[in-house]
A and B are shown apart, each in its own frame.
Chain A
Amino acid sequence: MGKSVLLLHSHLPLVRHPEYESFLEERWLFEAISETYLPLLRMMQRLEADSVPFELAMSFSPTLSFMLQDEFLLERYNGYLENNIELAEKELARTNGDPRQHRLAKMYHERYRSDLTDLNETYERNILKGFDYFAKRGHVEVLATAATHAFLPNFRNYPETVRVQVELGIECHRRNFGTHPRGFWLPECGYYEGLEEILANAGVDYFVSAAHGVLFGDPSPANGTYAPVMTPEGVSAFPRDVYTATWVWSSEQGYPADPVYRDFYRDIGYDLALDYVRPHIHSDGIRIDTGFKYHAITGQTDDKELYDPEAADARAREHARDFYHRQREHVGRLSEVLPSEPIITSPFDTELFGHWWFEGPTWLEELFRVAASDRQDRTSPTLEMTTPGRYLREFGAAEEVRPTFSSWGSRGYAEVWLDGSNDWVYRHVHQAIERMGELVARFPDEGGLKERALNQAAREVLLGMASDWPFIMNAQTVVPYATRRVKEHLLNFTHVYDALSQRNMGTEWLTALEKKHPIFSSLNYRRMKLASIETLKDLIR
């Protein structure tokens, strides 16, 4: 008998540009809603309708949670859907003579129409509400995560600011889900020695660590990566299982690479004549993904087969059964070498399911169905899907281990977020954190306009800390946008810093900025104080 935990981490940075009529990067959210979040909710609805028991853990970053409820962005999402429905209607006409393509056009037409109904009627423009529904029914255990998804090891010199990232993340969770979270998702599984003290003080019971974060810990864990360990501060760490995860994660050998699945890259935004797709791509005429993808992965060829939804659906279900049975076999092998029942912790980026792997939600659904059916068939099931919180309630952590600095990024540490492409960020963001601390010390008890300005300055510092910007610089994708965002947050902060020093804060400028970034509306700037005595003592030693 063993346990299996599935954890989906959901995050996007705050991208919201009311100053433009439309903004390309806002599509990150729109695509994620249409391809991942609404399909996942539909999957859960089907399981509930069929009385299939299912339990999984999910985390929602405060920035994504905000956007999933933001009237302004959801209005724009509404426009995105209307535009895609218009394109689907054009596609229905264009593909009329080709039954195989036509039914795909029909599929997209139906999907976008369902999205529109779900957005406006089912969820009344609050998509997070859908997940809250399943959280309240015990199907989803929701974890909190850092306020702006900062890669915390790169801010370890600023414990008070890390504390704000953690506490604010927890407060957002409480506001969104009405409960105190037991678990805390460390962005990018980024852990450093001592972080657990901040988590413990914030009332967190557990976090998920990279596998080597626990394996390389002190002492070596007796259960390897197959049991949570207790840190000296009393917070449990669930090590990520890398063995079974490769069956899903790997883009070359994992399930998502199967030739029958829908190809991520082929899209009519690139394949069809520019004049035809122009109303549905970037306003500057730059070709982008429209979401209309008609081809299967097929193989390492440009000559792709047309996508067959039924074949892909059947393969996803087959792969889910395979995953379940392979996990069960793995548990059997582990039972021979472990002193206690193993637990396999499988965290994934939520957008793997649907956005990157179109059939991912079907795979998940089938996984829960096969687990439930196996449980019914056997008097003593060999593998049970559970959540970290429930596991801790039933079994607790296995032993005390001090984990070590780690992440789930390439090469296992901070390199993705600290290399030649992005290291320039830290000089400035760290400086802004220090200056924010200085502002708190200089203006401890401000009200009115000054207080608003200080709160906005704190917001800008936090937004500049997001892990996404250095990640994008490292990945070399939309580098100008990431660079611009970091610079803008720093510039906005500096504007407040200078204006407060010179006593000339402009109301209009401040109001416009508050409207642009209305997240963390109750943030109190005084929380951004620095641990001055300890820091100074440390620095002058």
Chain B
Amino acid sequence: MIRTRLEELSLEALLLVASQNGLDLEPDLDRHEVIDQLADLILENREERESANSVTVKIQQKKYALLRDDEAPLTQDKVDEIELPERYEINRISLMLRDPRWAYTYWDLSSAKVREYQESSRFDGLYLRVLQLEGHTEELRIRDSFEIPIQVSDSSWYIYLPQQNASYRIQLVARNNHRRELLAVSNEVFAPWGHLRERPEDLDPHRMALYELCGLEYLESPPFEEPTGGRRMES
């Protein structure tokens, strides 16, 4: 069904759908090859999404299931006519916790600031400074930090949090005129443990029996600490 519907679209519309689905196409592909790649991608994405969803989410999806997936609009032309501002003319950065290992940050830079950097020969880039904080104290006490270089055109980022049971803030910093210019500091977020406090090998049989009866294998989140690792993810 998806293929039939794709075949009804012009090449221009197909390329729009490809771009909206994040598909990078070789420039010399013909129409049929574009349709092939798009159909595969849409199916693959759907299967991946379905298998990743928890049962609670799957049930909720049925509430909104008026149209079969195959009948849903492939592009968002009409909606995109409603424009939201690209920026709000303030320098600020916000931090949101997605899960104990990942946070999302978004920021705004005023047009004046962007222009200043674009026109300055001494502007040497922007970066996010991720601060891991010491406890919950009134003073900003930094335990550790790392930097993520970003472009002036960027406005959001997913950040891997190396430590759990720790608090974080993000600083938005520019290197300009051989100096570091602090543009904004985010709110603080606390990344919790994200797993049971005990390690499996430390559990006594009684506790282990209770946890098994609690259905650890059905939890939405893995019950024990997973080996650290992962990658920093770009928005």
Residues of A at the B interface (CB closer than 8 Å) are 12, 24-25, 27-28, 31-32, 153-154, 157, 192-193, 210-212, 215-216, 218-220, 223-226, 241-246, 249-251, 254, 264-265, 270, 286-289, 330, 333-334, 336-338, 348-349, 351-352, 355-356, 404-416, 418-420, 423, 426-428, 430-431, 468, 471-472, 475-480, 483-484, 487-488, 490-491, 538-541
- With contacts A249-B56, A410-B220, A483-B76 taken as known, whether A415 is within 8 angstroms of B98 at the C-beta atoms is yes
Stretch of B112-120, B172-180, B205-213 on the interface side = B205-213
Contact of B59 among A356, A420, A480 (CB under 8 A): A356
Mark B100-115 against chain A: 1 for CB-CB distance below 8 A, else 0: 1000101010000000
**B138 located at the interface, meaning its Cβ lies under 8 Å from any Cβ of chain A in the complex:** yes
* Chain A min CB distance to B70 (Å): 10
**B29 located at the interface, meaning its Cβ lies under 8 Å from any Cβ of chain A in the complex:** no
In the complex, what residues of A have CB within 8 A of residue B156's CB?
423, 427
Contact of B97 among A153, A355, A410 (CB under 8 A): A153
| A243 and B98 form a contact (CB under 8 A) | no
* Chain B min CB distance to A479 (Å): 7
Instruction: Write 8 A-B pairs (CB below 8 A) sorted by A numbering.
Output: A216-B192, A243-B218, A338-B210, A415-B98, A427-B106, A476-B45, A483-B76, A487-B84
| A216 and B63 form a contact (CB under 8 A) | no
* Chain B min CB distance to A29 (Å): 10
| B220 and A423 form a contact (CB under 8 A) | no
- In the complex, which residue of chain A has the Cβ closest to the Cβ of B221? A412
Q: From B66, B94, B223, name the one whose CB has the most chain A CB atoms within 10 angstroms.
A: B66
Cα A479 to Cα B220 in complex, Å, equals: 25
In the complex, what residues of B have CB within 8 A of residue A192's CB?
97
Contact of A337 among B55, B99, B196, B213 (CB under 8 A): B213
- With contacts A487-B79, A490-B84, A538-B187 taken as known, whether A471 is within 8 angstroms of B140 at the C-beta atoms is no
* Chain B min CB distance to A152 (Å): 12
| A220 and B67 form a contact (CB under 8 A) | no
Cα A218 to Cα B76 in complex, Å, equals: 45
Cα A488 to Cα B79 in complex, Å, equals: 10
Contact of A480 among B60, B76, B106 (CB under 8 A): B76
- With contacts A215-B219, A243-B215, A288-B66 taken as known, whether A413 is within 8 angstroms of B59 at the C-beta atoms is no
- In the complex, which residue of chain A has the Cβ closest to the Cβ of B67? A288
**B162 located at the interface, meaning its Cβ lies under 8 Å from any Cβ of chain A in the complex:** no
In the complex, what residues of A have CB within 8 A of residue B195's CB?
216
In the complex, what residues of A have CB within 8 A of residue B56's CB?
249, 349, 408-409
* Chain A min CB distance to B163 (Å): 15
- With contacts A157-B94, A338-B210, A349-B56 taken as known, whether A475 is within 8 angstroms of B76 at the C-beta atoms is no
* Chain A min CB distance to B48 (Å): 11
**B54 located at the interface, meaning its Cβ lies under 8 Å from any Cβ of chain A in the complex:** yes
Cα A410 to Cα B60 in complex, Å, equals: 12
How many residues of B sit at the interface, in one of the four size bands? Answer: 35 or more
Cα A115 to Cα B198 in complex, Å, equals: 53
In the complex, what residues of A have CB within 8 A of residue B100's CB?
405, 413
**B227 located at the interface, meaning its Cβ lies under 8 Å from any Cβ of chain A in the complex:** no
- With contacts A337-B209, A477-B61 taken as known, whether A211 is within 8 angstroms of B215 at the C-beta atoms is yes
| B192 and A404 form a contact (CB under 8 A) | yes
B37-62 residues at the A interface, CB under 8 angstroms: 45-46, 49, 52-62
| B79 and A330 form a contact (CB under 8 A) | no
Mark B180-192 against chain A: 1 for CB-CB distance below 8 A, else 0: 0000010110101
Contact of A484 among B79, B155, B193 (CB under 8 A): B79
Cα A12 to Cα B64 in complex, Å, equals: 9
In the complex, what residues of B have CB within 8 A of residue A408's CB?
54, 56, 220
**B68 located at the interface, meaning its Cβ lies under 8 Å from any Cβ of chain A in the complex:** yes
| B197 and A218 form a contact (CB under 8 A) | yes
**B73 located at the interface, meaning its Cβ lies under 8 Å from any Cβ of chain A in the complex:** yes
* Chain A min CB distance to B9 (Å): 16
Residues of B at the A interface (CB closer than 8 Å) are 45-46, 49, 52-69, 71-73, 76, 78-79, 82, 84-85, 88, 94, 96-100, 104, 106, 108, 138-140, 155-156, 185, 187-188, 190, 192-198, 206, 209-211, 213-215, 218-221, 223, 235
In the complex, what residues of B have CB within 8 A of residue A333's CB?
213
| B106 and A193 form a contact (CB under 8 A) | no
- In the complex, which residue of chain B has the Cβ closest to the Cβ of A264? B62
Q: From B79, B139, B156, name the one whose CB has the most chain A CB atoms within 10 angstroms.
A: B79
* Chain A min CB distance to B194 (Å): 7
| A404 and B193 form a contact (CB under 8 A) | yes
Cα A483 to Cα B206 in complex, Å, equals: 50
- In the complex, which residue of chain B has the Cβ closest to the Cβ of A487? B82
- In the complex, which residue of chain B has the Cβ closest to the Cβ of A472? B64
Cα A356 to Cα B85 in complex, Å, equals: 39
Contact of A539 among B57, B187, B220 (CB under 8 A): B187
In the complex, what residues of B have CB within 8 A of residue A338's CB?
210
| B214 and A225 form a contact (CB under 8 A) | yes
In the complex, what residues of A have CB within 8 A of residue B218's CB?
242-243, 245-246
In the complex, what residues of A have CB within 8 A of residue B63's CB?
12, 28, 32, 349, 351, 355
In the complex, what residues of A have CB within 8 A of residue B215's CB?
211, 225, 241-244, 246
Q: From A193, A223, A254, A349, name the one whose CB has the most chain B CB atoms within 10 angstroms.
A: A349
Beyond contacts A423-B104, A475-B53: 5 other A-B pairs, Cβ-Cβ < 8 A, are A157-B187, A210-B220, A211-B220, A249-B59, A413-B97
| B64 and A413 form a contact (CB under 8 A) | no
In the complex, what residues of A have CB within 8 A of residue B57's CB?
409-410, 416, 471, 475
- In the complex, which residue of chain A has the Cβ closest to the Cβ of B93? A539
| B221 and A212 form a contact (CB under 8 A) | yes
| B46 and A476 form a contact (CB under 8 A) | yes
